[in-house]
Structure 1
Amino acid sequence: MIKLKRLNGEQFTLNAFMIEQIQSFPDTTITLINGKKFVVKETEETVVELITSYYQRIGIIQSLSEVGKTSE
């Protein structure tokens, strides 16, 4: 889960696994796999960093790295 802010400053927590795409229109718009959209204050780069950090905290990135090593 990642914490983000809507344009009005309201903070909310988003399930990073539900994100399908992130775009800058120039506002950062996050589209979920169910089609729901959120416009947030954070830049696209910041959202990607938050997602990557979250994946690292829960061990997803390390697990994917280990799977790649065993399949070589």
Structure 2
Amino acid sequence: MIALSDVSGKEFYLNCDLIYRIDRSFDTIITLTDGKKLRVIETEKEIIDKVIEYKRKIYNGFSEGEK
């Protein structure tokens, strides 16, 4: 899961496997596979970087202390 912040600044965690698409309007809008939309303050690039970092941890195994 990746940590994101909604437009009010409240942090939440998102299962990144549920992301269908990411669009940029005034805010960044994440559309999930079930059609639900989330507005977040992170940019598309920040979200993509978080997903890549998370997937690397999964595929390479968590190192001690990162669990």
**Runs (5+) with no aligned partner, structure 1:** 61-72
Deviations 1:17-67 (A, max 9, x none): 00000010131000000001100000010000000111101007xxxxxxx
Q: Which amino acid aligns with 1:25?
A: S
- Structure 1 residue runs of 4+, over 4 Å off? none
Q: Give the structure-1-normalised TM-score.
A: 0.80
Structure holding more helix per residue? 1
Q: Give me the whole-angstrom Cα distance separating, in 1, the residues matched to 2:16 and 2:54.
A: 8
Query: Quick one: percent identity of the two aligned structures?
Result: 38
Q: Secondary structure at the match of 1:12?
A: strand
Length-normalised TM-score, structure 2: 0.86
d(CA) in 2 for partners of 1:26, 1:52: 24
What is the alpha-carbon distance in structure 2 between the residues aligned to residue 26 and residue 48 of structure 1? 18
Q: What is the alpha-carbon root mean square deviation over aligned residues?
A: 1.1
